[in-house]
Amino acid sequence: MVLKALPVKIPEEIYNRLSTLANKTHRTKTFYVREALLSYLEDLEDTYLALQALEEPGRNYSMVEVAREMGLTKDEEKELGVDD
């Protein structure tokens, strides 16, 4: 994996909190910045995907269609309350 540097300026208060955490846990500040950024990006990507799904809804499937696609037997369909 190729690593790229990204100089970032942060408020002193955040820097101090980050330093304290790094010292207490014997991890680097870089570790926590990377973890925080990954977590934030994952959440943001999920949000954008959800918004896109709301703006461009796909096809709706009935329970019968889903059950048949899954290859459920009639008895299994009945157990799940799937009606024709």
Query: Does some domain include residue 7?
Result: no
pLDDT value at 78 more than 70: yes
Query: Does some domain include residue 34?
Result: yes
Query: Does some domain include residue 6?
Result: no
Look-up of token digits 């799904």: 53
Query: Does some domain include residue 61?
Result: yes
pLDDT value at 64 more than 90: no
Reduce the DSSP state of residue 77 to 3 states and report it.
Answer: helix
Tell me the average pLDDT across 59-68: 87
| pLDDT tens figures, 25-46 | 999 999 999 999 999 999 999 9
Reduce the DSSP state of residue 28 to 3 states and report it.
Answer: coil
Query: Does some domain include residue 49?
Result: yes
Query: Does some domain include residue 72?
Result: yes
Token representation of residue 74? 């009639």
Query: Does some domain include residue 71?
Result: yes
Structural domain including 52 reads 12-80
d(CA 70, CA 77): 10
* Between 65 and 13, the higher pLDDT residue: 13
Q: How many domains does the chain divide into?
A: 1
The residue type at 7: P
| pLDDT tens figures, 3-27 | 999 999 999 999 999 999 999 999 9
